[in-house]
């Protein structure tokens, strides 16, 4: 691993106003440069178990210095290539573990979870996600979404005008996720690499935040409040004031030097 970067971090999770228990899990690990949120799917059994497994398996892959056994075409590539591969492969391991556990025990059969994670290295951010948990970057006062939701709505919108009729026929199912960890033996993990700058703030959050809270409001909070713990508290409070329709989790990380 790289020498530890100067990273400030804060994280907060809340059950919300309409749920009886919290199925979100998260980790903010500046020592590893790793920041993650997983949202157990409410329509599946033991969502909280699946989300916790996702976080723990990915975390474990970075805490233990070992080569992942899976073959990958970039295995002998640059350190940057290997970091992206390590993140993606750790999420793939988590998917397999959740899928297998879900078939071993009746209580957890069918469990699944969304996932989004950011790995911060020197000059680079490595992002991997599955489902509708999001990653944003705040830079120079502007908030930018770095992930694409894996939902029926996003897929139909990307299909263009021909999909409008199908979109109207969804009857409230537009936000249903089209992929998640634990649903199948393998999963398509979307990843990207972004150059970083001093002062960048990365936000990883469940749909309990970005659903009820407009992005302009999130941008305003992050722009006005330098204290990340205060910003996280305010974002959760705003989500709950907007009805708190779901569990809400946000993880914030700011690169030093800005």
Tokens of 208: 């309990």
Task: Give how far Cα 118 sits from Cα of 42, 94, 134, Å.
Answer: 24, 16, 10
pTM score, whole prediction: 0.90
**Of 227, 207, 232, 241, whose CA–CA distance to 135 is shortest?**
207
* pLDDT value at residue 71: 45
Paired with 113 in beta bridges are 40, 181
- Please report which residue ranges of the chain form alpha helices under DSSP H: 47-63, 79-104, 152-158, 164-168, 207-210, 215-224, 228-241
**CATH superfamily label, 7-255:** PPM-type phosphatase domain (3.60.40.10)
Q: Could you state, in order of their start, the residue ranges of all structural domains in the chain?
A: 7-255
133-168 tens-digit pLDDT: 999 999 999 999 999 999 988 877 776 655 555 555
186-236 tens-digit pLDDT: 999 999 999 999 999 999 999 999 999 999 999 999 999 999 999 999 999
45-81 tens-digit pLDDT: 689 999 999 999 999 999 986 555 554 444 445 556 7
């Amino acid at each position: 691993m790289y020498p530890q970067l100067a990273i400030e971090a804060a994280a907060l999770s809340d059950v919300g106003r309409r749920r009886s228990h919290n199925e979100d899990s998260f980790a903010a690990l500046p020592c590893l440069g790793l920041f993650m949120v997983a949202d157990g799917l409410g329509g599946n059994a033991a969502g909280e178990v699946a989300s916790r497994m996702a976080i723990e398996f990915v975390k474990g892959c970075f805490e233990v210095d070992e080569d992942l056994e899976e073959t990958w075409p970039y295995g002998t590539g640059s350190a940057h290539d290997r970091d992206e591969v390590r993140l993606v492969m750790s999420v793939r391991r988590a998917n397999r573990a959740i899928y297998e556990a879900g078939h071993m025990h009746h209580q957890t059969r069918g469990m699944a979870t969304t996932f989004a994670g950011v790995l911060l290295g020197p000059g680079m951010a490595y992002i991997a996600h599955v489902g509708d948990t999001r990653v944003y970057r705040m830079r120079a006062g502007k908030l930018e979404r770095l992930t694409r939701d894996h939902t029926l709505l996003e897929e139909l919108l990307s299909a263009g005008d021909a999909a409008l009729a199908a979109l109207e026929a969804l009857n409230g199912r537009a936000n249903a996720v089209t992929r998640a960890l634990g649903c199948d033996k393998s999963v398509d993990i979307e990843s990207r690499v972004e150059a970083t700058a001093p002062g960048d703030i990365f936000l990883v959050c469940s749909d309990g935040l970005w659903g009820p809270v407009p992005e302009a409001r999130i941008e305003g909070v992050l722009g006005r409040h330098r204290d990340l713990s205060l910003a996280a508290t305010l974002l959760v409070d705003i989500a709950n004031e907007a009805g708190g329709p779901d569990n809400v989790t946000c993880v914030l990380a700011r690169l030093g030097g800005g």
